[in-house]
Structure formats: structure tokens, C-alpha cells
Chains A and B, each alone.
Chain A
């Protein structure tokens, strides 16, 4: 009885700790400062909590972001190379600046005509996630299941689905996998942009504060001195903050093409990276509506959450074990995590300048980010348990349970019913 009381308390404590990322943690793994460019780190939790006695998994509902990708547009390469190339012609580049330019050109040559494409690492991430899913739930996945996979119509999402499914197929050749990426299904796969929540009273103020944060974080004075021999002359054709923004995007995306062996993170100090990251973090959370009083854009994803629920109910009714896979985007995973009630997406505060202390998106939407709902049942019982994994780590919802990290599906449904 005592332990039962303790567990919820501990969970509450954990909730605060796990959802944020400290500056120290960021500096240890600078890739995290890439926000949504952060390459999938893999689960930190190696062993999952065993299900209560007698309960067996019979259904997995998986919702994943595409894996590592190239930038969706070459504009940042064009902008950064344009600035440094012009300076080189005028003899204004330092040797270090020249070195940065060489690296930029190498990266751009590889990225040319590959805007938004899944990278090789992106393919591997999905294979590995599928591989772990098989290893974690072999009693379910070794059956001759019918697997239903749907992806957004974007190429990188489709290829992510292909790699995921292919790995499952290799693990169990008996699986019957149906893949599709149809316009007809999009309302169950990606957020519905047609849902337009009304802007809140605080909307404008929040974005003004965000802009001020961004201006402050993109102070290029130190950076420009390392690149150019004469900053004044270079400033005639170089927009410092914009160059900084371009270099940040290029540098952070390079972690998704590790085969290239190029890094550009050294152009920034850790403080600069940290400061820019806090802006991107705040911007994502504001755009999604996870800050109190911000426009609730997460409502665009409600149809997806409802469909996850109704399909789970159908599977429970039918009783036939199966797996549903969906492949989508960061802008879909983030609101879904929030709507499900996952602790990592809760706790946003109006203090957007320090929002990273409460929510940080490297925990939520790295490349290949994913949400898994694993359903369990027990012979001779109607009780259905469900467990929630965020990026393959068990997580919690603000619901009481006597079998944490498992929840009674009826309780989850009741919570969803009243929460949004």
C-alpha cells in the first residue's frame, strides 16, 4: 500500500526531470541544439517494464516522423555560400573563413537536388526502430499478422515507411504488410491544416517576445570576426544575423549526413548554439500552442488522435492481433504527444525566454521521433492495458493507475474525452 502511494509521487518528480534539457546536457551532445534536426538518439531505456502477470501484447499503434533528411530547401546553403564566396573574391576571407567555405561547398555538392530527401541515416533509423519493435514484442510480431502502414504523401515519409516495413518483413517473412500513401487517408495521417483555431489575445505579444529573443540570440559580432578580415567591408553585402541563421541550419542538418564527415558546429560557441536553440525551442512550442495562452494549433491534430483511439477500439472488438503504422512529420508528432497527454509535452509556461526548462523539443521531435501505444489483454478478462512510448522510452500520462507504466484503456479514453 505504501509503495502504491510512492510511485505516483516518484512519477511526478520524474516528470519534471525528464522533460527538460539542461545546458550541461546540451553541451554534452551538441546535436541536441539542432532542435528538430537532432538525429534520433535511440531509446535511453534499455529494458521495458514487464506487463502484469498474464497480460500479452496484441496491438501496437505506431506514429512516427520521417528519419534524418536533407534540408527541405537549399536556401541556407545558397545564402551562406553566397556571402562567403563573395568575400573570397574580394580577398576578405580569413583562412578560417576559407575553410568554412570549403566545407559548405562540399556539403552543398552532396545536398544538390536532394531537397527534403531522406538520408541514408534516416533509412537506418527506421530500420533500427522496427528492429527493436520486433525484439521488444516478439510474441506479437512473430505471428503472421496483417500490418497496415500509411504514410504522408511526402517522399521522405514514404521511404521511412518502406524501410520500417522492410525490416519487419525481414524479421518475419510471414507478415502481410499493406503500405499506402493516399490523399484519401491524409486526415488520419497528418494534421488538418483546415482546422483554424482563433488567435488568442496573447498571440501577438508572445511572438513579439519571441522575435526579441531571436534578435538577441543572432548576434553575429564574434562570428563575423572569425570569418572576415574586414567586417565593415563585408557588412556591405553580408547580413550578419541572416548569415548566422543560415550557418546554424546548415551546421545542424549536417548531423543527418554523417557519411560526409563534415561538421560546421565549430563556427559557433556553445553559448551561441544554446541561445539559438532556446529560440527554436520556444518557437516550436508557441507554433504548436503548448504555451499557456498561445493559439491552440495542436487542435489540428485531434482527428488523428481520435482515429488512433477508434482504430484501437475496433481492433479490441475484432480481437485479431495486428499492427498499425503511420509515418508523418515533426509538426504532427509534437501536437499528438501533447494531445495524448505525454508528460514530455506538458508543463509549458508563459516565461518563453526560459521555456526550455520545462519542455524541450529534442526530447520530442528529433528525426524519426515516434509515439507507440502498446495494447495488452489477458485471457478471461475484459481489461485492456496500454503503455505509451515516446521515442521508445516508457512515459506517463496524468492519469492514476495501479499498474504504471501501464494504464487501463478505459481510463485513458475517459481522460481524452474530458481533456479536449
Chain B
């Protein structure tokens, strides 16, 4: 608990100086952020610019990733456990190695039959985000509002939605909240696999580069070597890269389970955790097509953008007020932040060694990551303003405005509609769902 509180405090400081730049020093003083997309949701800075005179919020449109979760499968536990068991049988585990093995067994026992499930922290994260949403926009959310919520069909996402909505309901029992999690809506809630991603001639080369980079980042730390009395013999049946990668994932997921009070950061040391973070930071950037020269897989997120635009247009036309909630995955939040043009998600280069300095996963897709568009209107005016929030912090999009961080919807809407149109999306029945 102490550790969490301290982390939150530090994050507040970090958030304050944020921008999108990350220095080595910052990371070293906030090791919890090296968990990347496993990182505990960093508290927002709390700085919100008041709306221009006379403008009132009337609509919030939101997309959020599920909260903290268990690893989606137990394969890394299984592999590491088997390998350490073999080492033990061969008598080549040091006392330190035996200690790591015990911790692995305890963490694996806790995770048994819980692959991919939301943790208690995950539920708390969503309740806290809902609570802050209410506190930031009480004039809107204390009304007997209609709330439309839907989620992907994955259980951790559904439970995130339920916790978010229950928190809102406890703050305002007059809310009329509908919740859904249907196949019917997955075409925009998840990456739409029916959309054809055009080939990129440089994609293969980037993946080769990434593979090399990841191998380099996942080299064994001195601590890992010290788990074995004879590391050379251990490496005869343990694949170095897979072992380190599995352990990094386990170490990172421990940030989702603070109650367990187990850590594996010591296995990597500061440098090792930083390298693990850099490995996944570059990988995610490439996977989602955010690196220059990569395949534009973010095309598959355009249906979500379309859904945001259409729902907003309908709400504006109706003259009413409301709240629209969507719950999904990191594989959507990240490319969605990119196509929206958020400063945190843009400007990546293929310099993988230094990428984390301007592109950092923990600013984008920690557990419970979310994007909110908050709409404002003014009595007697047709002008609609919109503000963009990345993980509840105000952010920018590549448009000019006379009232930053607010943008005129009349500039925003055509910009994004044109973006979708010029992508000339091609649909084709996917062979197999890749998820």
C-alpha cells in the first residue's frame, strides 16, 4: 500500500512535467512505469482548463481499456516453472534461484484458472476513473442522464464496464444506464479484422530490426545468471530470450496484483526492467503501425472513429445530453490515440534504441487507459467545442484552435471524416479471428 501511494505521488509530479518526453532519470525514479502496458494506471495531473465563458459540457464520449488483469495465459508461468524445476533436479539452482522459483510458484498458484481476468486493482481503477469523471463534470453527470455503455465480449472488459457504471450509479442513482457486450458491436469495439491492411515494402525489414533489438534488450542480467551455479549448463536447455521475456511479463504483471506483494524486479535490476520496457515499447509501436514505414494496421480502428463521429453528430443534432461509454483493449486505445493525432502517440521513429524518449507506452496504454472527448456548447450559439483527454490529461490534436485545449467541432469533424474517406477502406471476410 505504501508503495502504491508513493508511486501515485511521484506520478503526479511526473505528470506535471510530462509533455510526451521521457528521460532515463524519470524512468529510474518511477520503476513501476517500466511495466509498460501492464503499468498501474497513472493518476492524471488533475489540471483541467476551464471552458471558455458560457460553455457547458453536454456530452462525453469515452473509450477505455479494461483495468489491471492477470496474464492472458499461464504459458510463461508454465515454461519458467518447468525450466526452474529441471534446474533444481540437476542441482544447479543457487539459493537465489530457489527463492525465485518459490516466488514463481506462489504467483502461478494465484493465477491458476484466472487467465486474462480482471484483478481487484483493475476494478478499483475503473471505479476511480468514473468517480473523477463525475467530480470533473458534476453539472452534466448529476442530471438524470441516459448512459449508453458497451464493451467487447471479453470478461475483463465487461467487468470493467460494470464497475465503472456501478460507481456512476452510486453517485447519481437517477442515471439510466444501459450495458451491452454483443458480437453485434465488435466491428468498432475491437480492431476490425475485415478491413484489409495494405502492404508496406519496409514492414519486413522493420520486423527484422525489431527482432534483433528485442534479443538485445532481453539479454540475461547478472542476477539471472546468478540463479544458476552453472549458467552455461542452464542455457543448454533454457532458451535465453524466451526465459527473460517470460520473466519480464511475469514481473510486469505483478504490478496488477499489489495484494500479492510479490515482485520479480530484482531478477532484472533497474537496467533490465528498463530494457524490458524498451523492448515492448518498440514492439507495440510497430505492431500497431505507428512507426514510420510500418503497415497501417490502424486502418482497422477507423470504424471506432466513425462511431465516435456518428454518435456525436446524433447527440449534437438531438440537442440533448448524454454519456457514451465503450470498453475494450490496449490494441485499440493505442492506434486510436494515433489516428486522433494525440501528441503522446505521434512522432515515433524507427530508431528503436531511442524511441522510448518520445514515445512511451505507459503514457498511452497502462491498464485502464482511456480516451475521452468532452463536448461543450453555449446558449444561443451553434458553436460546439470539444476537448481531448488521454488518460484524463488534456492533450492536443493536429488542428489549429483559438481556445486550446478546446477545439471547434466544425474543424474537428470534417478533418476526421476526410481522414476516413481518404483511406479508401477495403473490407474482406477475415479467414480466422486472430484474437
Question: Does B158 lie at the interface of the complex (its beta carbon under 8 Å from any beta carbon of A)?
Answer: yes
- Contacts A162-B162, A169-B170, A171-B173 given; indicate if A181 touches B179 (C-beta within 8 A): no
List A contacts of B161 (CB < 8 A): 162
19 contacts between A and B (CB under 8 A): A117-B180, A117-B182, A118-B180, A123-B178, A123-B179, A155-B182, A169-B169, A169-B173, A170-B175, A171-B173, A174-B170, A178-B123, A179-B162, A179-B163, A179-B166, A181-B155, A181-B159, A183-B113, A183-B117
Question: Does B171 lie at the interface of the complex (its beta carbon under 8 Å from any beta carbon of A)?
Answer: yes
A173 touching B155, Cβ below 8 Å? no
Q: Which residues between 385 and 418 of chain B lie within 8 Å of chain A, taking CB atoms?
A: none
Question: Does B215 lie at the interface of the complex (its beta carbon under 8 Å from any beta carbon of A)?
Answer: no
Residue of A nearest to B158 (CB): A158
B171 touching A173, Cβ below 8 Å? yes
B178 touching A159, Cβ below 8 Å? no
- Contacts A114-B183, A117-B184 given; indicate if A183 touches B162 (C-beta within 8 A): no
Q: Give per-residue flags for B34-55: 1 if the beta carbon is below 8 A from chain A beta carbons, else 0.
A: 0000000000000000000000
Specify which of A158, A171, A173, A179 is in contact with B181 (CB 8 Å cutoff). A158
Question: Does A200 lie at the interface of the complex (its beta carbon under 8 Å from any beta carbon of B)?
Answer: no
B173 touching A179, Cβ below 8 Å? no
Bound Cα distance from A288 to B182, whole angstroms:
30
Known: A153-B155, A169-B170, A170-B175. 15 other contacts (CB 8 A): A113-B182, A113-B184, A114-B182, A158-B162, A166-B162, A166-B177, A170-B169, A170-B173, A173-B171, A179-B159, A180-B159, A183-B114, A183-B115, A184-B112, A184-B113
Question: Does B332 lie at the interface of the complex (its beta carbon under 8 Å from any beta carbon of A)?
Answer: no
- Contacts A114-B184, A181-B159 given; indicate if A163 touches B114 (C-beta within 8 A): no
- Contacts A169-B170, A177-B166 given; indicate if A184 touches B114 (C-beta within 8 A): yes
Binding site for B on A (CB under 8 A): 112-115, 117-118, 120, 123, 153, 155, 158-159, 161-163, 165-166, 169-171, 173-175, 177-184
A165 touching B178, Cβ below 8 Å? no
B166 touching A115, Cβ below 8 Å? no
CB distance from A120 to the nearest CB of B (A): 7
CB distance from B49 to the nearest CB of A (A): 31
Bound Cα distance from A155 to B159, whole angstroms:
10
- Contacts A165-B162, A169-B166 given; indicate if A182 touches B114 (C-beta within 8 A): yes
- Contacts A169-B166, A171-B173, A173-B171 given; indicate if A182 touches B179 (C-beta within 8 A): no
Bound Cα distance from A115 to B184, whole angstroms:
9
Residue of A nearest to B161 (CB): A162
CB distance from B229 to the nearest CB of A (A): 37
Residue of B nearest to A166 (CB): B169
Question: Does B252 lie at the interface of the complex (its beta carbon under 8 Å from any beta carbon of A)?
Answer: no
A115 touching B179, Cβ below 8 Å? no
List A contacts of B170 (CB < 8 A): 169-170, 173-175
CB distance from B327 to the nearest CB of A (A): 12
B112 touching A165, Cβ below 8 Å? no
List B contacts of A155 (CB < 8 A): 153, 158, 181-182
Bound Cα distance from A262 to B166, whole angstroms:
33
Q: Which residues between 140 and 174 of chain B lie within 8 Å of chain A, taking CB atoms?
A: 153, 155, 158-159, 161-163, 165-166, 169-171, 173
CB distance from A153 to the nearest CB of B (A): 6
- Contacts A113-B184, A166-B165, A173-B171 given; indicate if A159 touches B179 (C-beta within 8 A): yes
List A contacts of B114 (CB < 8 A): 182-184
CB distance from B114 to the nearest CB of A (A): 6
List B contacts of A184 (CB < 8 A): 112-114
CB distance from B151 to the nearest CB of A (A): 9
A182 touching B113, Cβ below 8 Å? yes
List A contacts of B165 (CB < 8 A): 162, 166
List B contacts of A169 (CB < 8 A): 166, 169-170, 173
